[in-house]
């Protein structure tokens, strides 16, 4: 059964045109497998005629079996004055071996007249002959009408003629592209409706939409196009793409499924969306945006006490959808804006047993607000908050204790700074002293602590520090100002944040670092305190 809307992902091609986004051929294959597993129908792998890496990806993809998706190779129409059989780009598309191909052509007479400097009739011939060439060789052919909306505004008759020409050539889908990202939702709806009317009595063909985010409207424009009759949506995971990016499929997909009653993927696949978003971010080595709709860490985060009190009774009061439907979860933040509801909810979420009496909760709220006043920020540090609650309620069991540490920096005029750390800890009454080097004092301290703990807890090998932030809380004291250090750590299963505050940056870093390791070890050690093997 055909889906109500076909999903076409171009993360591996258009997404890689974004600044700081780059994937190797093997990484592209890993992402393609995850996209297939999440129910994406078309995966555009790259432009085989443009670089060896994309050709390598298609070679790897031919050796794989994709359960749900069709792999697509991307290219352009033939060059002016060249027969399709002699065009290297079209030959590369065939050589890629993909079951589907996508080619773009010009819809805007500005490009035909002023950029390409060819006759408009030649442009039409390039479109028709290229599509027919690919169709004759058994490829499902998707035609991307580049700059369609700009062309439609300037010369609607010619823009529509380019689509008709592609359809006559045998195109299976016509995709309308807002290449410059400058269209408004009203522009999109008007143009798509006109195209639907134009093709009402012509060849049956899928109608698609491809939008860019230069006005911050890529998702809105995509949804408008679907509302006007488009049945194929192109976009990228996390909205990666050139300039301001493409339509973000992590928003488009749940809007289609949950808001428009157009189940483009199954419920099970929809629940994979957050993990898919995170996987692509990690593979691109980019920090995930916490405020990304549906899949961001803050998408279902609540801070105000009134909000938290309400969602404890009825989540719909402050949540537009169930976060679990997209693989996310509700988060309640604890800060100086918190009340008893926040602390109660957070304690339950973190597995902390609070006494039934309200007095303990009130004292804990007061303590949190005092620490926030001193510079702590617990809404960004769940790991440290859990440890604080455990200490406050006498449920904390330290997995190591610091005896002492020493950090030194060496510098001479010919070499960069070198950092050395020596640490002495105690585990179950047994002392361990180790030393290590690092790229800076915190790196050296981290390495020394790992080295010391590894003897007792080999689980620390699966943990890594992924982000380190320092902020001066109040700069009026100059170099004696209080600083806040936030550390983000992760293992194969989880991500957590810890915090430290002090006038001394090394002391603040140690607080955050120690909490991070205590949090990890609390997860890794089973209920009777036995030290488990490495996972």
**Three-state secondary structure readout of 306-330:** HHHHHHHHCHHHCCCCCHHHHCCCC
**Residue 335 pLDDT exceeds 70:** no
Q: Does an H or E element contain 419, and which?
A: strand 415-427
The DSSP string of 488-529 is EEE-SS-EEEEEEEESSHHHHHHHHHHHHHHHHHHHHS-TT-
Angle at 393 between CA 387 and CA 397, to 5 degrees: 50
The pLDDT value recorded for residue 191 is 97
Q: Does an H or E element contain 421, and which?
A: strand 415-427
**Residue 357 pLDDT exceeds 70:** no
In the CATH scheme, what architecture does the domain 6-284 have?
Answer: Alpha-Beta Barrel (3.20)
Determine whether 465 is exposed, middle or buried from the number of CB atoms within 10 Å of its CB (0-12, 13-18, 19+).
middle
Mean pLDDT within 379-408:
89
Closest CA to 196 of 219, 155, 227: 227
Measured CA to CA, the distance from residue 428 to residue 445 in angstroms comes to 21
Topology of domain 401-524, per CATH?
Answer: Double Stranded RNA Binding Domain (3.30.160)
Residues 418-468 have pLDDT tens digits of 899 999 999 999 999 999 999 889 999 999 999 999 999 999 998 988 888
Measured CA to CA, the distance from residue 374 to residue 145 in angstroms comes to 57
The pLDDT value recorded for residue 336 is 52
Inter-residue contact 416 to 438 (CB < 8 Å): no
Mean pLDDT within 248-260:
98
Residues 108-156 have pLDDT tens digits of 999 999 999 999 999 999 999 999 999 999 999 999 999 999 999 999 9
Distances from the Cα of 479 to the Cαs of 186, 473, 474, 476, in angstroms?
54, 12, 10, 9
With H, G, I as helix, E, B as strand and everything else as coil, classify residue 107: coil
Inter-residue contact 452 to 434 (CB < 8 Å): yes
Query: Token pair for residue 487?
Result: 């550390």
What pairs with residue 211 in β-bridges? 178
Residues 172-219 have pLDDT tens digits of 999 999 999 999 999 999 999 999 999 886 666 889 999 999 999 999
Buried b (16+ CB within 10 A) or exposed e, 485-494: bbbbbbbeee
Total count of residues recorded for the chain: 535
Predicted TM-score (pTM) of this structure: 0.73
**Residue 297 pLDDT exceeds 50:** yes
Domain edges within the chain? 6-284, 301-392, 401-524
């Amino acid at each position: 059964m055909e889906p109500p809307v076909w999903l076409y992902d171009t993360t591996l091609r258009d997404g890689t045109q974004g600044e700081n986004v780059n994937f190797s051929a093997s990484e592209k294959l890993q992402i393609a497998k995850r996209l297939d597993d999440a129910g994406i129908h078309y995966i555009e792998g790259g432009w085989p005629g443009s670089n060896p890496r994309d050709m390598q990806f298609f070679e790897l993809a031919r050796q794989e079996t994709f359960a749900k998706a069709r792999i697509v190779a991307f290219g352009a129409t033939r060059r002016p004055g060249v027969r399709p059989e002699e065009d290297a780009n079209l030959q590369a598309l065939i050589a890629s071996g993909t079951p589907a191909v996508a080619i773009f052509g010009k819809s805007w007479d500005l490009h035909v007249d002023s950029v390409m400097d060819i006759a408009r009739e030649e442009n039409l011939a390039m479109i028709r002959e290229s599509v027919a060439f690919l169709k004759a060789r058994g490829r499902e052919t998707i035609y991307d009408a580049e700059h369609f909306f700009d062309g439609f505004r300037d010369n609607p008759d010619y823009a529509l003629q380019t689509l008709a020409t592609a359809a006559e050539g045998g195109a299976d889908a016509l995709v309308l592209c807002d290449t410059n990202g400058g269209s408004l939702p009203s522009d999109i709806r008007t143009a798509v409706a006109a195209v639907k009317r134009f093709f009402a009595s012509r060849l049956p063909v899928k109608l698609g939409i491809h939008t860019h985010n230069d006005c911050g409207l890529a998702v809105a424009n995509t949804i408008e196009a679907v509302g006007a009759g488009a049945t194929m949506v192109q976009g990228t995971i996390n909205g990666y793409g050139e300039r301001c990016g493409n339509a973000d499929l992590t928003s488009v997909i749940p809007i289609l499924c949950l808001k428009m009653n157009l189940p483009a993927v199954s419920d099970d696949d929809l629940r994979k969306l957050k993990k898919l978003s995170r996987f692509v971010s990690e593979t691109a080595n980019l920090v995930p945006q916490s405020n990304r709709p549906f899949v961001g860490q803050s998408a279902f985060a609540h801070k105000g006490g009134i909000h938290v009190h309400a969602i404890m009774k009825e989540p719909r009061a402050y949540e537009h959808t169930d976060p679990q439907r997209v693989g996310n979860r509700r988060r309640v933040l604890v800060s100086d804006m918190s009340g008893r509801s926040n602390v109660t909810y957070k304690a339950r979420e973190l597995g902390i047993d609070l006494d039934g009496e309200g007095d303990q909760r009130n004292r804990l709220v007061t303590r949190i607000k005092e620490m926030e006043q001193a510079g702590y920020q617990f809404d960004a540090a769940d790991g440290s908050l859990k440890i604080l609650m455990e200490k406050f309620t006498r449920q904390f069991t330290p997995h190591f204790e610091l005896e002492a540490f020493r950090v030194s920096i060496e510098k001479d005029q010919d070499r960069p700074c070198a950092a050395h750390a020596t640490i002495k800890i105690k585990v179950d009454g047994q002392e361990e002293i180790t030393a290590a080097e690092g790229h800076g004092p915190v790196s050296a301290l981290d390495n020394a602590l790992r080295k010391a703990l590894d003897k007792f807890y080999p689980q620390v090998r699966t943990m890594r520090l992924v982000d380190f932030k320092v902020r001066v809380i109040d700069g009026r004291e100059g170099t004696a100002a209080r600083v806040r250090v936030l550390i983000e750590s992760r293992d194969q299963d989880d991500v957590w944040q810890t915090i430290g505050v002090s006038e001394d940056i090394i002391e603040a870093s140690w607080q955050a670092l120690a909490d991070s390791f205590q949090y990890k070890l609390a997860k890794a050690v089973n209920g009777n305190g036995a030290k488990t093997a490495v996972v």
